[in-house]
Amino acid sequence: MPKKLPKQAILKEHKDKAWNFIPIGKALTEQNKVETIGWYINDQNLVKGIETYPCTSFLIVGETGSGKSIVERGILEHTAVFSDKFQVVVTDCKRVDFVQDAVQKMCKAVLTDHREIAGAAITLQKLMMTRFKLMENYQVNNVWKLEKREAVVPYFEIEGVGKLQFDELFQIEQDLDTDDRNYPRLKMLYPSGKQPKLMTIQDIYNELQNKSIKSVSIKGKVVTVKDIKEVTGVYHPKAVMFMFEDWADAMLGEDYKSIDTINSAIGSICRLGKASGIHICLGTSRTDNGVLSTDLQNNLQFRLLLGKFSKETSLGVFWQDISNKCKPDIKGRGFMGYGNKIVETQIFEGKTTHF
């Protein structure tokens, strides 16, 4: 007689020990066993449980109250446990879910405006290509192999801050351009006259040298070019996670130029990001009206559909209609798709740091 999924899944049933495996919930295997299911960031140190495959991107679809935010928060708290392995950037256009201090402490940046998001997307796409060039130089096909090769990369020493690897991310503040035609709107969003911008320490150093900026605040310390010393060291890559609290919010609005930039850069990362350790997590409450482009639909490899959903939503996520199987009466119940499989899943409740 087959087992049944629990109506509530507690993370205590799975020890969150492998940094590259993010536990999401419980699923029923083909052998009728209830096993932990989750997102493999890469194929290092795979853990026992239901088979999934390493992938770059994760799509989470669910209406309000379906459990989407619980999954997103669980991913953030997993990365916080393994902060030496991750750099996390999140977006929250509604300025509700991810702007709390507790979330900001887990992240390199919390982005709330289309321009901020577009700039961050370009920064991460550029970082992806920089890592590819480094991999080419050391003749490896995966960023994680660079550590074994003892790849030498630039580091930047800052007194009072420490030694920072070239691809360490920071959110700095830049003066608004008063000649920008959108200046009045931006001034309302940023009364201080400064707009946040995501940059690597390498790019910060370059801009300080070029005098594009005079100083920045890094970890609470005001830094000028004279305060930074460029040295070298062995590369210790970190996975980069770019999470969208609601992708639909990032795709809707009047700033069409920024929206087009976001869509293009995220599509590129979804196609190419796995080997470079750059990952995308798209949460969304809707998939209609072009919210998910064909490019993204083809390249979002790991998918979770929660709560009550229609035939159209099911087709948009899995390319097949399983709407007759949804169980909205069970909070946190959904379906996870990977490869050619779709398995019924009960997401974990509670914080991932509670064991």
Across the chain, mean pLDDT equals 88
* pLDDT single digits (tens) 169-194: 999 887 777 777 777 877 777 777 77
Residue 98, pLDDT score? 74
Q: Give the confidence band of 290 by pLDDT, cuts at 50, 70, 90.
A: confident
Q: What CATH code is carried by the domain that includes residue 243? A: 3.40.50.300
Mean pLDDT of 310-314: 92
pLDDT at res. 355: 33
Write down the pLDDT at residue 99.
66
Q: What is the pLDDT of residue 95?
A: 76
Q: Are strands 239-244 and 86-91 parallel, antiparallel or unpaired?
A: parallel
Mean pLDDT of 325-332: 93
Check pLDDT > 90 for residue 24. Answer: yes
Residue 331 lies in a domain: yes
DSSP per residue, 87-153: EEEEE-TTSSSS-SHHHHTT-SEEE-SHHHHHHHHHHHHHHHHHHHHHHHHTT-SSTTHHHHTT-EE
Q: Give 352's pLDDT tier (boundaries 50, 70, 90).
A: very low
Q: Is 28 a domain residue?
A: yes
Whether the predicted pLDDT of 324 surpasses 90:
yes
Mean pLDDT lowest for which of 26-40, 136-150, 246-260?
Answer: 26-40
55 domain residue, yes or no: yes
In a domain, 203, yes or no: no
Q: What pLDDT is attached to residue 301?
A: 87
Which two structure tokens, joined as six digits, stand for 192? Answer: 């201080």
Q: Is residue 136 part of a domain?
A: yes
Q: Would you call 250 helix, strand, or coil by DSSP?
A: helix
- Confidence at residue 49, expressed as pLDDT on a 0 to 100 scale: 66
186 domain-assigned? no
Q: What is the pLDDT of residues 255-265, one digit of tens each?
A: 899 999 999 99
Identify the top-confidence range among 128-142, 215-229, 332-346: 128-142
Q: What is the pTM of this model?
A: 0.91
Q: For residue 281, what pLDDT is reported?
A: 96
Give the residue with greater pLDDT, 300 vs 128.
128
Please check whether residue 295 lies inside any domain of the structure.
Answer: yes
In this predicted model, what pLDDT tens digit does every residue of 90-119 receive, in sequence order? 998 887 777 676 777 788 989 988 989 999
Count of domains in the chain? 1
> What is the residue whose two structure tokens read 């590129």?
268
Quote the domain boundaries for residue 343: 9-151+235-349
d(CA 39, CA 199): 27
258 in a structural domain: yes
Length of the chain: 355
Write out the DSSP string of 327-347.
Answer: -TTSTTEEEEEETTEEEEEEE
Residue 262: closest CA among 273, 248, 278:
248
The percentage of residues in the chain with a pLDDT greater than 90, rounded to a whole number, is 55
